[in-house]
Chain A
């Protein structure tokens, strides 16, 4: 019984490995099409505190996600046209969000004592 199991295992090990498809450029959903530039999401909290998470999507793929809980910048090293930046969080006072590249809708965008739910397309 033990011998037959050993044989089966040995046969399986001898089998040729399944050929894996080579990764082609066209398979990459996040392939840069245009010019990639760096973008800064500047968050300023006033008259209160808050927390914000910014997520960069390209062709439906999550490229980068960063959170901030004080005033400061979230840096995306490479963004390109038609990318989407999703911004979510909360502010107990005012929050002013400014993206350093042109977006739709435009920034700065101000939120006041609310749950922050926003999204911007890179133009």
Chain B
């Protein structure tokens, strides 16, 4: 009950914060990323309340140095600076407070993670820009826009007509007017441009759908190309540590590496390959004193199945199926096996634009034990808001 109340408060604070500062969250390309990807590398800020139904809870904050620097100096968001410091965006640092079942402090944890390969950041990808400009549908849109502006420039002798047509054209390009809502003069001109410039696809599209919305069509093309970028490789290496609650000495050090790559993309479903390997150094409680002589290697290959909304292509439900292999290098505890396997499932449900609830379930086929962890993760895309504030 206490956990549910805390969960409610946690979500409420975040949702209220968004409701106050982001009344209408626009569909941003960042919001098209999967929850699994966001857990591997945070773009901006991530606040997580992990394992809040278990005895060992964790309140974790993850960010990257660039996000913090840009928060202090918005000039860094200018493209030249943004591109220059792109490698800082590939570095994640995290801090977390471990809590016991009574929500008392039970240790401090920190970590660093660096993306050795990150082909998913379209914001600094020249190839992404070129892919969009080279797309035949984008060329049609640009040709149409230029031809309409060329036509409007011929109406200079009749200011009233020029302004009326311009108003309609602005509405058309900004998506507030569909093709069938335009004046007949402008509709005929668009068809004439399509014929003169050999824009067959545009003519066919308008014929098939008189409610053709230029802005929405352009946005769909942008998102489609962005989705292809979302499937590219991401490979990270990281180190994290945990201290004891009574001494600032490491009780646990984890060296990890994670790889994510989209292997199949469908209109409303994606499949991601997820490989994770880690070496964990722990205190060997068989020996007196505190040390890090117990070492465990783990390897977790899995597939993340992503369900997306049909129109906005946002992931709303994910299911990761993976297997874990553990190998203990050091002296074994009583009844402990050197090698063990578990079958894991993680369900991620998106309850708000940037808030995910991942439910992790681990099943040990030998013992038949099932472990479940419920988490909440909020990804803050604060840089977008800062950029708008900076623009104003």
Interface of A toward B, CB cutoff 8 Å = 33, 44-51, 55, 57-62, 69-71, 81-86, 88-90, 92-94, 96, 104-105, 108, 110, 112-115, 117-119, 121
Q: Taking the complex as formed, is B181 at the interface, i.e. its CB lies under 8 A from any CB of chain A? A: no
Known A92-B125, A94-B391, A104-B166; judge A57-B222 contact (CB<8 A): no
Give A108's nearest chain B residue, CB to CB: B391
Whether A88 pairs with B145 at a CB distance below 8 angstroms is yes
Bound CA span A62–B147, Å: 10
Known A50-B79, A117-B214; judge A60-B150 contact (CB<8 A): yes
Q: Find A112's partner among B26, B148, B149, B173 (CB 8 Å cutoff).
A: B26
Whether A84 pairs with B152 at a CB distance below 8 angstroms is yes
Whether B80 pairs with A114 at a CB distance below 8 angstroms is no
Bound CA span A83–B214, Å: 23
Chain A: minimal CB distance from B24 (Å): 12
Whether B146 pairs with A86 at a CB distance below 8 angstroms is yes
Interface of B toward A, CB cutoff 8 Å = 26, 28-29, 77-80, 82-83, 122-126, 128-129, 132-133, 138, 141-142, 145-146, 148-156, 159, 162-163, 166, 169-170, 173, 214-215, 218-219, 221-222, 383-384, 387-388, 390-391
Whether B77 pairs with A46 at a CB distance below 8 angstroms is yes
Whether A45 pairs with B218 at a CB distance below 8 angstroms is no
Q: Find B387's partner among A33, A61, A94, A104 (CB 8 Å cutoff).
A: A94
Whether A57 pairs with B150 at a CB distance below 8 angstroms is yes
Chain B: minimal CB distance from A121 (Å): 5
Bound CA span A48–B390, Å: 14
Chain A: minimal CB distance from B337 (Å): 50
For B145, the chain A residues whose CB sits under 8 A away are 86, 88, 117-119
Bound CA span A39–B113, Å: 47
Bound CA span A46–B169, Å: 27
Q: Find B163's partner among A60, A89, A94, A104 (CB 8 Å cutoff).
A: A104
Q: Find A90's partner among B132, B166, B173, B383 (CB 8 Å cutoff).
A: B132
For A113, the chain B residues whose CB sits under 8 A away are 28-29, 222
Q: Which of A55, A69, A82 has the most CB of B within 10 A?
A: A82
Bound CA span A94–B386, Å: 11
Q: Find B79's partner among A45, A89, A119 (CB 8 Å cutoff).
A: A45
Whether A115 pairs with B153 at a CB distance below 8 angstroms is no
Known A119-B169, A119-B173; judge A86-B150 contact (CB<8 A): yes
The 8 closest A-B pairs by CB, nearest first: A82-B156, A45-B79, A86-B149, A84-B153, A48-B123, A57-B153, A119-B149, A60-B154
Q: Find A85's partner among B122, B132, B149, B163 (CB 8 Å cutoff).
A: B149
For B384, the chain A residues whose CB sits under 8 A away are 47, 94, 112
For B142, the chain A residues whose CB sits under 8 A away are 88, 117
For B79, the chain A residues whose CB sits under 8 A away are 44-46, 48-50, 70-71, 93
Chain B: minimal CB distance from A17 (Å): 34
Q: Find B133's partner among A33, A62, A89, A121 (CB 8 Å cutoff).
A: A89
Known A114-B222, A119-B145, A119-B148; judge A47-B173 contact (CB<8 A): no
Bound CA span A33–B163, Å: 18
Q: A44-B78, A112-B388 are in contact. List 13 more A-B contacts (CB 8 A).
A: A46-B78, A47-B387, A60-B154, A82-B156, A82-B159, A92-B123, A92-B129, A93-B82, A113-B28, A115-B141, A117-B141, A117-B142, A121-B152
Bound CA span A88–B150, Å: 13
